């Protein structure tokens, strides 16, 4: 497997646990082991709050949380904002289906009427989100995915600036420093064009796929789409910062949140279409600095997704190999939704898909991160779940844990959720929001769920916050000398005290040259400030 973290200067650590950095680094000064550390004090304080949900929530709201690595732009906007924008833009809603339209379709009701009609407002809110949904698990699952189509006419390209500003503002207010957003970014154009290049007699092998890639990227319509998307992303990021008033005395907390983007393919299309979407994603990443990776979205149980799953994993691995082995091409990272399945959403003849999706995402598609990974303990491919967990640990594959989403849409919570198994097997994990708008949540809610439903303590939550930046696809080397070992910094910063201002020339230079390390230093500073308030 090709682990792109090697490109950032890390080495995968062997099972014996030997440091990849040898004698070039040394541990940062350790406190007196006889005395409780600052972290111990904060851990104990958090434990004292477990009987007071409001106090625990306030504590976790204030806690610095690093990054959100699994967030869909289309599902992250608060539903109240969508209603507000739709009303302002003159959109209407069918009061039977609650599908929005703009221009207004015949027989629909102006969304602006919701301001004077609370029942109408609440009905739209419920149709476009999981607010007060009381149906069965399968009904909730369907309601969730249907919501995207209902408000699609409201979340237009004209609102891209507003969307990013809304997401970044909430991230900043919940004490995060980095987010990665998943979005199509015109990938459907690449998919549509690619379908016309394949015939039924074409082989699905590396040579054929790479030949089709060459044909696809040479087409003017394909290149025009890349041009449009590059310009649109630049304008959106600039516009969002203007809305947040960045660089002014009234700057929103979202101004301090770094953003990177993942171009996502829609898995409900034909395999040739999905391949074309990924080609588009890889080429867009070469043009746009903020596009750092690819993903695969939409229901994993979709019949086309199931039928072409292995073919698509092979295709992505082929594109990844080509990209990595071609001189001059920017590294493109891979995170994949996999294992977001339960028996109830699969037909009887499709139950075998519970046994191999995560393994094939890792082995065939070279996934560096897995989104959800809920069915991991039922995987039997290879040597089974225990072997898969060992492989994920050894290969340093992170899992993006979406507790609210998994509870609401898959019925996985408490002991039925595999988070404990990932932690026990030392598979890197980080908490994420998935679709916080539709799910009526935020990153703090995920930390609360981790503390209450999963019974995690402060030290574990802190490690997860650190891991979120360690496994982010942001450019640059890590602050930490050894992957996922948050005790020893790189040599350039070894003489510094974490949580304080860097003073040495070597550390300042390193932080300036490595965006990841700079974000990690920022998180450590925030954590120190947060923890110090509990130390008497």
**Do 27 and 143 belong to one domain?**
no
How many C-beta atoms lie closer than 10 Å to residue 224's C-beta? 12
**Do 120 and 159 belong to one domain?**
no
Residue 471 lies in a domain: no
Residue 358 lies in a domain: no
d(CA 334, CA 294): 5
Provide the pLDDT for residue 13.
Answer: 33
**Do 137 and 244 belong to one domain?**
no
Residue 6 lies in a domain: no
**Do 210 and 103 belong to one domain?**
no
Residue 458 lies in a domain: no
Residue 291 lies in a domain: yes
**Do 159 and 294 belong to one domain?**
yes
- The residue from 299, 315, 348 where one domain ends is 299
Provide the pLDDT for residue 30.
Answer: 60
**Residue 521 belongs to what domain range?**
11-50+479-532
**Do 45 and 142 belong to one domain?**
no
Selection from 493, 497, 526, 484 nearest residue 512 by Cα:
493
Provide the pLDDT for residue 536.
Answer: 77
**What contacts 238, CB < 8 A, 6 or more positions away?**
none
Q: Is 226 exposed, middle or buried (0-12, 13-18, 19+ CB in 10 A)?
A: buried
d(CA 482, CA 463): 14
In terms of DSSP bridges, do strands 480-482 and 485-489 run parallel, antiparallel, or are they unpaired? Answer: antiparallel
d(CA 33, CA 451): 26
526 cis-preceded (ω within 30 degrees of 0)? no
Residue 235 lies in a domain: yes
d(CA 414, CA 294): 31
State whether residue 483 is helix, strand or coil.
Answer: coil
State whether residue 62 is helix, strand or coil.
Answer: helix
Residues 372, 337 contacting (CB under 8 angstroms): yes
**Do 117 and 176 belong to one domain?**
no
**Do 160 and 252 belong to one domain?**
yes
Provide the pLDDT for residue 31.
Answer: 56
d(CA 405, CA 131): 13
- Tokens 């004090």 correspond to what residue? 41
d(CA 332, CA 317): 12
- Tokens 């979340």 correspond to what residue? 155
- The residue from 150, 185, 202 where one domain ends is 150
Q: Which two tokens stand for residue 224?
A: 């025009």
- The residue from 268, 299, 330 where one domain ends is 299
**Do 198 and 261 belong to one domain?**
yes
Residues 354, 306 contacting (CB under 8 angstroms): no
Residue 447 lies in a domain: no
Provide the pLDDT for residue 33.
Answer: 61
Q: 3-state SS of 90-117?
A: CCEECCCCCCEECCCCCCCEEHHHHHCC
**Do 283 and 187 belong to one domain?**
yes
Q: Which two tokens stand for residue 46?
A: 């958090």
Q: What is the DSSP letter of 268?
A: T
Strand partners, 296: 265
> What are the C-alpha distances in Å from 391 to residues 360, 397, 459, 484, 504?
12, 8, 25, 16, 39
Residues 317, 366 contacting (CB under 8 angstroms): yes
Residue 164 lies in a domain: yes
In a structure prediction context, what are the per-residue pLDDT tens digits for the chain, which is 536 residues long? 445 544 433 333 333 333 333 444 445 556 566 688 999 999 999 999 999 999 999 999 999 999 999 999 999 999 999 999 999 999 999 999 999 999 999 999 999 999 999 999 999 999 999 999 988 999 999 999 999 999 999 999 999 999 999 999 999 999 999 999 999 999 999 999 999 999 999 999 999 999 999 999 999 999 999 999 999 999 999 999 999 999 999 999 999 999 999 999 999 999 999 999 999 999 999 999 999 999 999 999 999 999 999 999 999 999 999 999 999 999 999 999 999 999 999 999 999 999 999 999 999 999 999 999 999 999 999 999 999 999 999 999 999 999 999 999 999 999 999 999 999 999 999 999 999 999 999 999 999 999 999 999 999 999 999 999 999 999 999 999 999 999 999 999 999 999 899 999 999 999 999 999 999 999 999 999 999 999 87
**Do 145 and 177 belong to one domain?**
no
d(CA 305, CA 64): 37
**Do 171 and 209 belong to one domain?**
yes
Residues 405, 372 contacting (CB under 8 angstroms): yes
Long-range contacts from 8-14, C-beta under 8 angstroms, 24+ separation:
8/475, 8/476, 8/477, 8/478, 8/516, 9/477, 9/478, 10/477, 10/478, 10/483, 11/483, 12/394, 12/395, 12/396, 12/483, 13/482, 13/483
Q: Into how many domains does the chain fold?
A: 3
């Amino acid at each position: 497997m090709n682990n792109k973290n090697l490109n950032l200067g890390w080495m995968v650590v062997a099972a014996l646990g030997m440091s990849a950095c040898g004698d070039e680094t040394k541990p940062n000064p350790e406190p007196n082991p006889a005395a409780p550390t600052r972290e111990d004090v904060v851990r104990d304080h958090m434990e004292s709050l477990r009987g007071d949900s409001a106090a625990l929530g306030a504590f976790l709201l204030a806690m610095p949380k690093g990054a959100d690595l699994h967030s869909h732009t289309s599902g992250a906007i608060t539903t109240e904002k969508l209603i507000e924008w739709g009303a302002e833009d003159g959109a209407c809603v069918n009061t039977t289906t609650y599908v929005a339209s703009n221009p207004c379709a015949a027989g629909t009701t102006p969304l602006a009427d919701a301001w004077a009609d609370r029942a109408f407002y609440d009905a739209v809110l419920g149709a476009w989100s999981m607010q007060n949904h009381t149906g069965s698990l399968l009904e909730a699952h369907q309601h969730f995915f249907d919501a995207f189509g209902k408000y699609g006419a409201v979340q237009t390209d004209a609102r891209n600036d507003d969307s990013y500003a809304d997401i970044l503002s909430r991230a900043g207010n919940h004490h995060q420093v980095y987010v990665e957003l998943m979005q199509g970014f015109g990938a459907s154009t690449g998919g549509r064009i690619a379908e016309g290049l394949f015939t039924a007699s074409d082989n699905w092998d590396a040579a054929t796929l790479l030949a089709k890639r060459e044909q696809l990227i040479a087409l003017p319509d394909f290149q025009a789409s890349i041009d449009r998307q590059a310009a649109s992303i630049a304008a959106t990021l600039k516009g969002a910062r203007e809305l947040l008033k960045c660089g002014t005395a009234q700057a929103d907390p979202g101004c301090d949140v770094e953003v990177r983007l993942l171009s996502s393919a829609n898995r409900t299309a034909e395999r040739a279409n999905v391949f074309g979407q990924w080609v588009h994603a890889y080429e867009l990443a070469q043009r746009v600095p903020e596009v750092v990776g690819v993903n695969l979205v939409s229901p994993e149980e979709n019949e086309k997704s199931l039928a072409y799953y292995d073919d698509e994993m092979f295709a992505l691995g082929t594109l990844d190999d080509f990209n990595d082995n071609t001189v001059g091409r920017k590294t493109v990272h891979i995170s994949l939704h996999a294992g977001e399945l339960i028996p109830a959403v699969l037909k009887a003849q499709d139950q075998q898909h519970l046994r191999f999706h995560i393994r094939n995402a890792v082995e065939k598609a070279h996934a560096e991160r897995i989104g959800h990974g809920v069915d991991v303990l039922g995987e039997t491919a290879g040597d089974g779940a225990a072997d898969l967990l060992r492989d994920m640990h050894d290969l340093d594959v992170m899992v993006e844990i979406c507790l609210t989403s998994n509870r609401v849409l898959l019925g996985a919570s408490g002991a039925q959720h595999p988070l404990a198994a990932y932690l026990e097997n030392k598979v890197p994990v980080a908490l994420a929001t998935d679709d916080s708008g539709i799910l009526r949540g935020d990153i703090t809610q995920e930390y609360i769920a981790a503390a209450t439903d999963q019974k995690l303590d402060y030290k574990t939550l802190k490690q997860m916050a650190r891991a979120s930046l360690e496994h982010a696809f942001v450019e640059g080397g890590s602050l930490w000398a050894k992957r996922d070992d948050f005790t020893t910094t790189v040599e350039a910063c070894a003489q510094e005290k974490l949580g304080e201002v860097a003073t040495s020339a070597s550390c300042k230079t390193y932080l300036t040259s490595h965006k990841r390390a700079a974000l990690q230093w920022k998180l450590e500073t925030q954590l120190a400030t947060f923890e110090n308030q509990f130390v008497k």
